[in-house]
Amino acid sequence: MPSNRTRRIRLLLSYDGTEYHGWQIQPNLPTIQGEIETALAQIEGERIQLHGSGRTDAGVHAVGQVAAFDLRNPIPAGNLRRALNRLLPRDIRVLEVTEAQTDFHPRFNAKRKTYEYRMLRAEVCPPFLRRYVHHHPYPLNEEAMIAFAPLLDGEHDFSIFAAADEKDELGHSKVRTIFSSRVYRQGSSEDDLLIYRVTGSGFLKHMVRNIVGVLLEAGKGNLTQADFLRRLDPYCQIPCGPAAPARGLFLINVEYE
């Protein structure tokens, strides 16, 4: 019989976002939060609310998402991980289950988050990567992208890079601190991956995909460094160009104190 003492449990999660309408629970649509809450309800015998470190968009993947919830069931952490992985679809995996402080909050306590965006330059995209990279076999000035990316380091107003429906929201600061923003090659072959990796205090909705969209514009030769920097002026009113597709984006980790 479950005791009445409530524990706060922290989850480390990995998921393939391809088949989901993002993290946040929505009626009648498959979501990451929805699948995990359904599994938790089967273990606890009643509905449990899951809190994530933040939402990921439809189609975005995670190798290190963090979430937490309160549980009365006294099941040991190791068994809970196995029980959840048995109940969850195979494209959502619980990597770790740990007992957390009762005031731990995965969103409010998060200090740094890292995202990675994967671009494949090869002429043909291997079928096994098709869900996990943005295939871009066209010419790109990678040197410009490599040079421009670090210009985002530091504290900036990222209004230009926010999602359309968030842009005009008043009272919400669009200022974020980027600790590291880099483009680099993974591997040495021409066909290998071009990676954008960014670590920051937090990210606005669509922010990483919009940054990659602007970096790709720079790579196509459509933006000078001055054009690029102008996007850090929140009053510049330049429309942000197309966001890079969700399938290339991975939430890598969330860091706490």
Two tokens, residue 212:
């990659």
Q: Which residue is listed with tokens 């985002």?
A: 152
The answer to whether residue 128 forms part of the interface with a copy of itself (CB under 8 A) is yes
Q: Do residues 217 and 230 make contact, with C-beta atoms less than 8 angstroms apart?
A: no
Distance between CA 177 and CA 155 in Å, rounded?
4
Residue 63: CB partners within 8 Å, gap ≥ 6? 14, 250, 251, 252, 253
Task: List the interface residues with a copy of itself, window 22-81 (CB under 8 A).
Answer: 61, 63, 81
Of the two residues 108 and 128, which places its CB atom closer to a copy of itself in the complex? 128
Distance between CA 247 and CA 126 in Å, rounded?
14
Candidates 5, 86, 90, 172; binder of a copy of itself (CB under 8 A) is 90
Of the two residues 5 and 86, which places its CB atom closer to a copy of itself in the complex? 86
Q: Which stretch binds a copy of itself (CB under 8 A): 120-128, 149-157, 160-168, 191-199?
A: 120-128
Candidates 37, 70, 91, 157; binder of a copy of itself (CB under 8 A) is 91
Candidates 9, 10, 16, 210; binder of a copy of itself (CB under 8 A) is 16
- Among 57, 70, 191, 192, the one annotated catalytic: 57
The answer to whether residue 249 forms part of the interface with a copy of itself (CB under 8 A) is no
215 exposed, middle or buried (CB, 10 Å; 0-12, 13-18, 19+)? buried
Partners of 196 in beta bridges: 117, 183
Active site residues: 57
User: Which positions lie near a copy of itself, rule CB under 8 A?
Assistant: 14-16, 61, 63, 81, 85, 90-95, 124-128, 130, 132
